Amino acid sequence: MRAARILIASLATAAVLATLSVVALAAPNAVGLAASPRSGAAQAEYCPAGEKAARQAATKRYTRQMAAARKTYFRTHSSTKLRKAFVKKQQAQLKTLQRAVAACS
């Protein structure tokens, strides 16, 4: 009885490994891409009418005000460390807005 269970488990393992081998040989990138969080369906986002235009407008508005905000911040903060942090936050916000526009399909 125990030998039969071991045999069944071994055959099941062999079947799974054979299936994975066939998939890996047929489409080498398919296994990694299917599990990737950046695969197509994970990044796709439905946007109602006008949403993409609104996101583009928000990105444009933010880009236009960045220089003025930086100038104002730099006028009141002389610390190099604080200035670098401010610019880094600005760039991160801009990148987030740009990703939102790109994700809108």
Q: pLDDT tens, 62-99?
A: 999 999 999 999 999 999 999 999 999 999 999 999 99
Q: What is the DSSP letter of 104?
A: B
What whole-number distance in Å separates Cα of residue 103 and Cα of residue 37? 14
Higher local confidence (pLDDT), 20 or 87 = 87
Please tell me the predicted confidence (pLDDT) of residue 24: 56
What whole-number distance in Å separates Cα of residue 79 and Cα of residue 35? 44
Residues 103 and 77 in one domain: yes
What whole-number distance in Å separates Cα of residue 18 and Cα of residue 35? 19
Residues 61 and 100 in one domain: yes
Residues 91 and 79 in one domain: yes
C-alpha closest to that of 93 among 53, 54, 48, 61 = 61
Domain count, the chain: 2
Cβ contacts of 56 within 8 Å, gap of 6 or more: 101
Residues 72 and 33 in one domain: no
